[in-house]
Amino acid sequence: MTKPKVAFFDFSSCEGCQLCVLDLAPQDLLDLLEVIDIVEFREAISEKSDTYDIAIIEGSITRDSDIPRLKKIRETAKVLIALGACAAIGGINALKNFQPKEAYQRDVYADDFNKFETTTARAIHEVVKVDAFIPGCPIDTSEFVRVVKNLVLGKKPDIPTYPVCVECKRNENICVYEKGIQCLGPVVRAGCNARCPSNGGYCFGCRGIIPEPNLHSQKDIMQKYNLSFEQMLGKFKLFLERNKEVFPDGNK
């Protein structure tokens, strides 16, 4: 069987999701290399290729001048995967979308703020068609391997559509709400094995909101623990801000 050629590309990102791929367990990496041929991956190899079957894109689009490059990648690839929260939902970059442009330009570039091109951050699917996405900030490496293998075999990517709470309860964690801590687990996409609440933290939403969130459940929890919608939104601004339209009436 001819192995599909895979190329990695990055736009605005911290490159942490690509680092996760580089940090795969040796056996996972070997398994992956049995089914794909990596032809471009700036963080790992110096080779480049004008042809590839699968493009894996990290980062969000934050400059209009990035768009022709992204469109060219889309035209070349048969399958395009958005890698990580920046690419899949805009991620941390999208926080600037809720500030005046000059404010975030000055924060980053101070007096030189006018010299550098920037605009609102967009997820990859807001610019070109995306065939599959791998959520998370950063990604879950076992999920990455599974999704890529599934796509190579012509199967569906198999990303969970149920919430983090399912995995959290499976891990027999005590819910952090019982300790007075807020958590977005009821409405955020599982697949990380409830990484944060299982390790002393809480879910802050890096994998994005599930397709059909049970808003009643989240609202019931907020009411039970006497939390306002504004308190919740403030705490989870990092990834939730762009999704706040799914909570149209808050906790009224």
123 binds ligand SF4 (CB under 6 A): no
243 binds ligand SF4 (CB under 6 A): no
| Spatial separation of the C-alpha atoms in residues 159 and 132, rounded to whole Å | 9
CB burial of 197-212 (b: ≥16 within 10 Å; e: otherwise) equals bbeeebbbbbbbbbee
| Spatial separation of the C-alpha atoms in residues 48 and 50, rounded to whole Å | 7
The residue among 35 and 175 lying less far from ligand SF4, judged by its C-beta, is 175
Strand order in the sheet with 132-134: 37-40, 5-10, 54-58, 79-83, 132-134
Question: Which residue type does 138 have?
Answer: P
Dig out the tokens for 239 from the structure.
Answer: 């990834």
Dig out the tokens for 76 from the structure.
Answer: 């070349």
The residue among 4 and 160 lying less far from ligand SF4, judged by its C-beta, is 160
| Spatial separation of the C-alpha atoms in residues 198 and 179, rounded to whole Å | 14
203 binds ligand SF4 (CB under 6 A): yes
Report, in Å, the least distance between residue 13 CB and ligand SF4.
Answer: 3
Among 164, 187, 209, 210, contact with ligand SF4 (rule: CB under 6 A): 164
Which span sits near ligand SF4 by CB under 6 A: 49-57, 96-104, 109-117, 188-196? 188-196
Which span sits near ligand SF4 by CB under 6 A: 71-79, 86-94, 108-116, 120-128? 86-94
The residues with which 100 forms a beta bridge, in sequence order, are none
Among 9, 39, 84, 122, contact with ligand SF4 (rule: CB under 6 A): 84
| Spatial separation of the C-alpha atoms in residues 137 and 231, rounded to whole Å | 23
Cα–Cα separations (whole angstroms), residue 241 to 90, 139, 233 = 11, 20, 7
89 binds ligand SF4 (CB under 6 A): no
Report, in Å, the least distance between residue 127 CB and ligand SF4.
Answer: 16
Report, in Å, the least distance between residue 82 CB and ligand SF4.
Answer: 10
Which span sits near ligand SF4 by CB under 6 A: 85-93, 102-110, 122-130, 225-233? 85-93
Report, in Å, the least distance between residue 203 CB and ligand SF4.
Answer: 3
Cα–Cα separations (whole angstroms), residue 80 to 43, 76, 91, 99, 105 = 19, 9, 18, 30, 31
Applying the rule CB under 6 A, the residues between 133 and 162 that interact with ligand SF4 are: 136-138
96 binds ligand SF4 (CB under 6 A): no
Site residues (vs ligand SF4, CB under 6 A): 13-17, 58, 84-86, 91-92, 136-138, 164-165, 168-169, 173, 175-177, 183, 185-186, 188, 192, 194-197, 202-207
